[in-house]
Every structure is written in C-alpha cells, then in structure tokens.
Chains A and B, each alone.
Chain A
Amino acid sequence: MIILKNVSKIYPPNIFALRNVNLHIKPKEFVSLVGRSGTGKTTIVKILTAEEPPSKGQIIVGGWDITKIKSNEIPILRRQIGVVFQDFKLLPKKTVFENVAFALEVCATEQKKIKEIVPQVLKIVGLTGKEDRYPIQISGGEQQRVAIARALVHRPKILLADEPTGNLDSINTREIVDLLLKINEFGTTVLLVSHNREVINAINKRVITIDNGTIVADQKIGKYLL
C-alpha cells in the first residue's frame, strides 16, 4: 500500500530531514510512526501527500509511483489519502456539516450525493446531531472528529493522522485513537504520527521509530522506545 525505497529529503544547504528511509506498509495495516520533534515524521506525511518532493528515492502509494508526480495529478492522489492534522484545519465560518461537505464540494460532487454521504460519515465519527454547530461551539475532540470525517468523505484507502491528539486532553485523545482504530477495522490503512508515549503503548500495533531522519526500529507490536 505504501512503499518508500531509499527515500531522502535534503533541505538546502545540506540538512537531512530523511536519510535513506525504507518502509513498507501493507493494506489495512495500522502503523504508528513515532519519534521526537523534528526527526522527520511530518516530512514523511508531506512526501506521501506530494506536498514536498523527495530529494532521492522512490515512493509508491496504492501501487502508484508518485516520486515524480505531475502537479495536475496531485489532486487525484489527495482524494485517495485522507489527512488529519494536530490543528484540525477547520473553517470557523462553516458548520460541522459544511466543513465536511466542503471537501466534496471542491471536488465537484453533486449536492444530492453530498447530502447522502456527509450524514453517513458524521455518524461514523459520532457527530450525528451536531451538524449545525460551528467549530467554536464544539470541543477539541469533536473538532478533530470533524477533521477525520472530512478526511473520510472521499472514502480514502489511506488515512494519515499527523499528531491528531497533540491538542487534546487524555479523554479526547483516547476517543480519537479508538476512532482511528475503528476506521482501520473498516479496512482503511492508518498511519498515525505521534510522539505521545501513552497513546502508542496503548495501541499494541506496529510501531516504526524514527530518529534523525532514519528508521531506528520497526516493531510488529511495538512500544514507544525513545
């Protein structure tokens, strides 16, 4: 599903964000990518969403070699990969429903389909009944659920969650992790980027540890090592 072969990312003049990273994530896997801040975790997310090109190496996502992806192909890739961030990236002037629908609107989905899909996704993330609320009127955990719902509306095969619990308290953190596990059970490959030891240790799934741009550990049922 996701293959990185000898991937390096060098920022000028000569700063290595990633150094010869090799990674293979199978379909329907739940993988946690852990490491300290600034070790290259987010760079991997950016490379997978074609936000940054690699300096070296090959990247394959869902059988598609995106190493030298053309700019007009990037939107197609991004519709296949859902992304969730620490800061939610919700539009404050749009309601919960509108925020989720926005992802479909900008991809020219018909209104009828939007009205069909959005309530289904909101039900999965447990936000039924809160469709008309604005982001400011719901909790941080609920805001992250909206972001996850938005990432899911395209029915992506891969969900990248970049520090999704970074802004949340322990209860909300647990709920979001449970939601990600539930989404994984439905068949979506999940790559969770985190530096939260408790979260990682509670998941009991594959853990890849990265340090200084290099993978230093890859455990099948792993723990937070650093």
Chain B
Amino acid sequence: MFSSSIYRILNFAWQSFWRNIWLSLLAITIIVLTFISINFLVVINFMTNAAILVLQDKIDISIIFKPEVSENQVLEAQNYLSALTQVNEIKYISQKDALEEFKKNNASDPIILESLAELDTNPLGAALRISAKNINDYQTIIEIINNSKYNNLIANKNFDDHKAYVAKTKNISDYIKKIALVTTGLFIIIAFLIVFNTIGVAIYTHRQEIGIMKLVGATNWFIRGPFIIEAIFYGLIACVLAVLTVYPLIKFIQPYLNKFYLSSDFSIIKYFNQNFWQIFGLELIIIIVLNTLGSIIAIRRYLKV
C-alpha cells in the first residue's frame, strides 16, 4: 500500500514535470544559475585564502644587530626567541652572509661597492629573520624583543610591509565576498520565486484533479507529494547541470591560478574534488529545502476545501 503510494506520487510528479516542460526548464535554469553563483563564492573564497597564504609565507621580521655584537650574543638571542611559542622559524644570517647579500643586491651600483671596498671592517651586523606561526603574532614578538635584554644590541627591526598587503588582500576579498554573497542571495530569492510560481502554475493546471482528489478522500500529503517531488526533481537536475558546468569552468581557470600564485600547490579542482559532497551536497540540501518550502506554500490554498 505504501509502495504503491510512493510509486503514484513519483508518477504524478513526473507527469507534471513533462506537462509543464518549459516552465520546468525555466525553473531549472534559474536554479543552475543560483548553484553557479554559490560556487563562484566558493572559488572566490578559495582564491583569496590561497593569496593570503602566499602572502603570509612572505612575511617575516628582520632583526639587524649592531656590527660590534658578537656571534655568540646573536645566537643567544636566537635561542631565546626560538623558545617563544609564537615563533615558527628563525634564520640566522651571519655578518659575512649579510655583506654578501648586500653586495649582491647592490651589484649594479659601483659607488656603493667601491665605498664598501674602502672600509677595513664589515659595517653590517648579523641578522635574524623570524617568521611567526600566525600573522597576528608578529606584534607580540616585536613587543617581547623590545622588552628583552637584547633590545640594546639591535640596530634595526624591519617588520615587512607584507602585512599591509595581507590586510589589503583581506579587504578586497571581503569586498568581493560581499558582492558574491548579495548576488547569491538575489539568485536564491529569484530561484525561490520562480520555483514557487512554476509549482503554482502546475498546481493551477491540476486544480481540477486536486479538487477530485479531495472529494474522493486523498490525504493532503498525497496531494502535496507530487508537487514536492517535482520541486526536488528541479533541485536534483539543476545540481547535476551545475556540476557539469562548474568543473569545466574551474578547469579553465586553474592555469591562470598557477600563474598568479607562481605555484601549482593551489589546485581548485583538487579542492572541489576533496570537498565535493560538502559543496554540492550542502547546496543541494539548501535548494531542496527552499523548493519544498515554496511548493508547500504554493499548494496550501488549494488544500483548504
């Protein structure tokens, strides 16, 4: 008895889907666009997170010691800082390495090189290049250094400007996310209204059957069932079409991402593959819930008799 009910509900839903095929296609198209815009949001999120990771990787603090500070003192400072929980890595640059690096960086400037050659001693101090575990830890590390006994030994501290880049990137990404969120919201509202109206028209064309169903003792759930199933059909078909559209798109943008990040570590295809069910499953659930809600509201007034 239950299985024949399910079979009939599915059958009625399928008939209604085909009888109003153009409306069904319109509803599906809008839902596909909604899916694509949500996935655009996912792509933007992925890209900005990757950009922030790349930039974060480039941030460090350079502590340049006074030239007269001995290697032992620098190494002692390095040991002290290594013990901090906020510190990820410390690279020691000796006075000799610092001079080599300086020469390399100024190889095209003969005046600087000549001036260096005239000096008897190395004017550059050793340096420590510190990278933190988290971008927000840099400020804490600087404060700890300032309050330590090693502060007097330090000639200069460079907290790289990369922090400003990260902040800027975050701002831009937040801005893009807001736009994408509004677009997605709009598409969701449009999809909801279209599905609501499509189901409304389907119900209107079936009003005679609904009246007879009520007359002969069909339950409200049996009457609602086909329209809810029809709305679920829309969601499922749109989801499959969205997957078929989104994958070629991300495949298309992947080489550009590799170029942009100068790395192939950030694979958006891999990201989508790994999170396939979280992304499309969740989107499908949201769409199905909205569609079901739309069809329940649309049919409500026909069930009153």
Q: A residues within 8 Å of B by Cβ?
A: 49, 51, 71-72, 75-79, 83, 89, 91, 102-103, 105-111, 150-151, 154
Residue in chain B with minimal CB distance to A111: B4
Distance of A108 Cα from B214 Cα, bound (Å): 14
B218 near A110 with CB under 8 A, answer no
Q: Which chain B positions have C-beta within 8 A of A154?
A: 216-217
Contacting pair A109 B211 (CB below 8 A): no
Chain A residues near B220: list those with CB within 8 A. 71-72, 75
Taking a contact as CB atoms under 8 Å apart, the answer to whether A106 and B216 are in contact is yes
State which of B2, B5, B217 has its C-beta within 8 Å of the C-beta of A78: B217
Residue-wise, chain B 214-248 has the 8 Å CB interface mask toward A (1 for contact) of 11111110110000000000000000000000000
Chain A residues within 8 Å of B2, by CB: 108
Q: Are A102 and B216 in contact (CB under 8 A)?
A: yes
Would you give the shortest CB distance from A140 to chain B, in whole angstroms?
18
Interface of A is mostly: helix
Q: How large is the interface on B (under 10, 10 to 19, 20 to 34, 35 or more residues)?
A: 20 to 34
Closest residue of B by beta carbon distance from A71: B220
Q: Which of A51, A75, A89 contacts B217 (CB 8 A)?
A: A75
- Residue of B8, B211, B219 near A75 (CB, 8 A) is B219
What's the dominant secondary structure at chain B's contact region?
helix
User: Quick one: which of B98-141 are within 8 Å of A by CB?
Assistant: none
Cβ of B209 within 8 Å of any chain A Cβ, yes or no, is yes
Cross-chain contact B8 with A105 (CB below 8 angstroms): yes
B: which residues have CB within 8 A of A? 1-2, 4-5, 8, 208-209, 211-220, 222-223, 305
Q: How far is the CA of A108 from the CA of B220 in the complex (A)?
A: 13
Closest 8 CB pairs of A and B: A106-B218, A79-B217, A78-B217, A103-B216, A108-B5, A75-B217, A75-B219, A106-B213
Contacts of B214 in A (CB 8 A): 78
Pick the residue among A72, A83, A89, A110 that contacts B219 (CB under 8 A). Answer: A72
User: Cβ of A107: which chain B residues have Cβ within 8 Å of it?
Assistant: 216-218, 222
CB distance from B108 to the nearest CB of A (A): 87
Give the residue of B4, B212, B218, B305 whose beta carbon is less than 8 angstroms from that of A89.
B212
Whether the pair B209, A91 counts as a contact (CB closer than 8 A) is: yes
Closest chain-B Cβ to A114's Cβ sits at a distance in Å of: 9
Contacts A75-B218, A89-B215, A107-B217 known; 9 new A-B pairs at CB < 8 A: A77-B217, A78-B216, A102-B209, A106-B213, A106-B216, A107-B216, A107-B218, A151-B216, A154-B216
